[in-house]
Amino acid sequence: MSNYKESCRRELERLVEREAHLDAALLCSVDGLPVAYASSIQIEADALSAMCSSMLSLGDALAIQGGDDTCIQVVTQSRGRTVALIHAGEDMLLGLMGSRELKLGMLLGHARKEVEVIVELINKSHHEAKQSENAKKPAERQPALLEELVKRVMQEAQER
């Protein structure tokens, strides 16, 4: 099984290296746990992850109050930095932090493109894990929890 966390980390590192004015890229769970991180400046991933999760949750709450399901993105700017947050699948979010020299449109473009790559890496990893589990002999398989069974059934129903 491929390690999607490591693949995502390498992808974020390449992005930060490619874009001169992009200072940090973070993939975290919607509840604020860091998954993958790359930065050219000194920023604590745990704190950044928690703040990004809170900001995107607040954006979602505001969108719901306005009659939408979720927000598409949250952008915040200070004198020196611009931060863009965007959902990366159902339970992840991507945060990109750039200097003011990085134009907002370019930052959002990077975010959307990276989300596509990350979702593909995660889906590939889950697919490989599923194939690996299915290839095991019935006696070697771990008993599934009820929650996992329900999630698997829902996922298979959506795929049909």
Q: Tell me the domain boundaries of the chain.
A: 4-125
Q: In percent, how much of the chain has pLDDT > 70?
A: 92
Which pLDDT tens digit goes with each residue over 45-94?
Answer: 999 999 999 999 999 999 999 999 889 899 999 999 999 999 998 889 99
Which pLDDT does position 90 carry in this prediction?
86
How long, in residues, is the chain?
Answer: 160
Report DSSP letters for the chain, one per residue: ---HHHHHHHHHHHHHHH-TTEEEEEEEETTS-EEEEEESS---HHHHHHHHHHHHHHHHHHHHHTT-SS-SEEEEE-SSEEEEEEE-SSSEEEEEEEETTS-HHHHHHHHHHHHHHHHHHHHHHHHHHHHHHHHS-TTTSPPPPHHHHHHHHHHHHHH-
Give this prediction's pTM.
Answer: 0.76
- Is it the case that residue 1 has pLDDT exceeding 50? no
CATH topology of domain 4-125: Beta-Lactamase (3.30.450)
CB 73 within 8 A of CB 64: no
**Using alpha carbons only, what angle is made at residue 52 by residues 51 and 54, rounded to the nearest 5 degrees?**
65
* Lowest-confidence segment of 30-39, 42-51, 138-147, 149-158 by average pLDDT: 138-147
Give the residue, 156 or 108, on which the prediction is more confident: 108
Q: Which residue has the tokens 């790559």?
A: 117
Give the alpha-carbon dihedral of 13, 18, 22, 25, to 10 degrees: -20
Residue 31 dihedral angles phi and psi, to the nearest 5°: -95, 10
Q: Which two tokens stand for residue 78?
A: 């200070």
Percentage of the residues of the chain whose pLDDT score is greater than 90 = 61
Q: What pLDDT is stored for residue 142 in this prediction?
A: 61
